[in-house]
Amino acid sequence: MDINFNILAAAKSTLKAESDAITKAIDFLNDDFLKSVQAIFNTKGRLVITGIGKSAHIGQKIVATLNSTGTPSLFMHAAEAVHGDLGMITKDDVVLCISKSGNSPEIKVLAPLLKRDGNILIGMTANESSFLGKNSDFVINAYVEKEADPNNLAPTTSTTVQLALGDALAVALIEMRNFTANDFAKFHPGGALGKKLLLKIKDILDGKNKPAVTIQSTIQQVIFEISNKRLGVTAVLDGSEIKGIITDGDIRRMLEKTTDLSAITAKDIMTVNPKSIEINSKVEDALNIMESFEITQLVVTDNNLYAGIIHLHDILKEGIVS
């Protein structure tokens, strides 16, 4: 019991220390942060992020976030930079160097080299008076009082603050670029969000499997069509005009009322004015309509002509959820 209590106490203490450090970081945001964002936004090049140790891992995550939100970025490991990787930096690039102490040997060697060609250097450090702090054009203050671990050694609180400041940079740049959800989807076409925002009905519609009967069709013909196409529904047409739909639920309700099927036609049991959607509409729109009306199928039209049926299962197979 005591062991479990100590585990939870350590976890709570860690989260409290890190959340407090992030809260304090708000007070350190100043004109240098503003100028850093503006420099990144205005550059004709990219943002090159560098660091060593755990700061390097944080830098890689920040690069990933920036690239996915419209800011071209790349990562350069500080130790590899002086062995040839400096060649990846172009004259128009802005460089962000992340280092808690700002005084590590690699950073002391690298910082002057990063500025020799006139590149803007942004330092993210917990020590503004460090070598990195003094040699940077702008300093993003990532100060923390102590790490979360009891020995004040393992990068915990410091890397959490670095990560949060990287997110702050990314979100500020999102605002400046007016970066929308549709823009985000363009960089994530394979993910659920990308599919929701980009995938269209025509991309997943099976146009060859489109159940249809006429208004004069018999109930036997209607049942055969619904069973054959396996979508639980059929459209009812009068020539090329969509008159209604019949679902397997409509068939069951009809059978509850009568067993004499000889005189009943599709026209007698169809639902008129069915919910429909244009073939060039987004799949997300179809999903929203289905959810709003608590239905599982929609009639798809192409220039007001019947194009097929889209089923909720078709959408779910694409991994799209609301």
Pick out the residues of the known binding site: 77
Name the token pair of 306.
Answer: 């019947």
User: End-to-end alpha-carbon separation of the chain, Å?
Assistant: 42
- Beta strand 212-214 with 138-141 is unpaired
Instruction: Report the alpha-carbon distance of residue 246 to residue 216 in Å, rounded.
Output: 13
- Beta strand 305-311 with 297-302 is antiparallel
The answer to whether 265 touches 220, Cβ cutoff 8 Å, is no
- The binding site for Zn(2+) comprises 77
Q: What's at 61, amino acid-wise?
A: K
Residues 6+ apart with CB under 8 A from 51: 58, 59, 77, 78, 97, 98, 99
Distance of CA 297 to the CA centre of its chain: 27
Instruction: Report the alpha-carbon distance of residue 309 to residue 207 in Å, rounded.
Output: 8
